[in-house]
Chains A and B, each alone.
Chain A
Amino acid sequence: MKISKKIIDNLKKGGVDFYLSVPCKLLANMIDILEKDKDVYYSAVPREEEGMGICAGAYLGNKFPCIMMQNTGIGNSVNAIVSLLQLYQMPVVFLISYRGTPGEPVGAQGGMAKITEDILQTLRIPMLHCSSENDLEKISIFSKHAKVVESPVAILCDFNLMKDDK
């Protein structure tokens, strides 16, 4: 819970006040925290691409949105990222559980893991890669950066960082 709490605390410190998720077991603690938090909006959504649309609307309505998802969700969302969030220059934080990184027990997750950073680089999305607890301190300033540059940004949380966060 310590890692998850630190991530949410830093996102809130960065101004994020609207959260969506397509669940992942590595995000489960964060979802628990957000469901109990009365200061921010939280909902699950069925699909990441749809979540990008809801985040865009939330930004138009003056919220600072974050969508939490597995890295697979980036694959589901490329057109929405490019032709909505980037076209209209909308700041959104992607909080990504980085499945398929070392420690991952499911071999099939390796495929998207191999290309996740390449996709984000191709999309010119600023990335913050969190592999240790110390990295989490950078989340608040990185989130604020999204607003300054009016762009989606991606925070990648390694499997091994999240897996023992009981």
Chain B
Amino acid sequence: MNRFDLLNKIQNILKDNLVICNIGLPSQELYKINDQPNFFYMLGSMGLSSSIGLGLSLSQNKNVISIDGDGSVLMNMNTLATIGNRAPSNYTLLIIDNGSYGSTGDQRTFTDENTSLKDVAIGAGCKNVVECSGDETVNELSKAIEDQNNSYVIISKINSGNVQIDPIPLNPITIRDRFRKFIGIVKYL
């Protein structure tokens, strides 16, 4: 299973929740599978999906899923300490760990060598850290969303490989405003 397959499998969970999606191919694949206003596509700032989702979950009550990658979490690893100390119960971090920098040509990341993001997350103080296969991810993500009392970090171990897709045609303000309209903040659209 690669990222595109996994994103397809979890569509039914994503569609009812606020989703922050990592820059590059993850966002492009998600857009291609099923574009929705409650999906915030990152067009820059690699590494910050988990942080954007954390800020969002601290600011309102709806469930938030940050879709991140192993390369991006390695770039902003302090985020796991902040999540371990501050994440509210409506926050779930889904790290799609394929051991490679998918958007830049599938170069290997350190999770394909010695680094375990599960161990790092636990050491950083994160509660409910789950490492699972792609197939198990649907079930684990459902459980995380249904649990109203705890935040989760799910590390989904899948194969590398991408589907080649065009860049997202939406402009950033459209992504921003329709997302905030979905939450109920923007009234003018």
Contact = CB atoms under 8 A, between A and B. Distances in A.
18 contacts: A18-B55, A41-B58, A46-B81, A47-B76, A49-B76, A54-B55, A54-B82, A57-B59, A58-B59, A61-B60, A61-B185, A62-B185, A63-B55, A63-B59, A80-B45, A83-B43, A84-B52, A88-B175
Interface of B: 20, 40, 42-45, 47-60, 76, 78-79, 81-82, 86, 172-173, 175-176, 179-180, 183, 185
B104 to A, nearest CB: 15
Contacts of A54: 51-52, 54-55, 58, 82
Interface in A30-59: 41, 43, 45-47, 49-59
Contacts of B43: 83, 87
A121 interface: no
Contacts of A46: 78, 81-82
B55 A60 contact: yes
B173 A89 contact: yes
B68 to A, nearest CB: 11
Nearest to A82: B44
By size class, the interface of chain A is 20 to 34
A60 B45 contact: no
Contacts of B50: 53
Contact of A84 (B45, B76, B79, B86): B45
Contact of B82 (A50, A61, A84): A50
Interface majority SS (helix, strand, loop, mixed), chain B = helix
A23 to B, nearest CB: 14
Given A45-B78, A50-B76, A57-B54, 5 more contacts: A50-B48, A51-B51, A56-B55, A62-B185, A82-B44
B57 A57 contact: yes
A87 B176 CA distance: 10
B185 A52 contact: no
Nearest to B62: A61
Interface of A: 18, 41, 43, 45-47, 49-63, 65, 79-80, 82-84, 87-90
Contacts of B183: 60-62
Contacts of A65: 55
Contact of A79 (B45, B51, B58, B173): B45
Contacts of B40: 60
A92 B129 CA distance: 32
Given A60-B59, A62-B183, A47 B78 contact: yes
A57 B176 contact: no
Nearest to B78: A46
Contacts of B179: 60
B58 A56 contact: no
A21 to B, nearest CB: 12
Contacts of B42: 84
Nearest to B56: A57
Nearest to B185: A62
Given A49-B47, A60-B183, A89 B55 contact: no
A82 B79 CA distance: 20
Contact of B55 (A57, A80, A83): A57
Contacts of B52: 53-54, 56-57, 60, 84
A18 B55 CA distance: 10
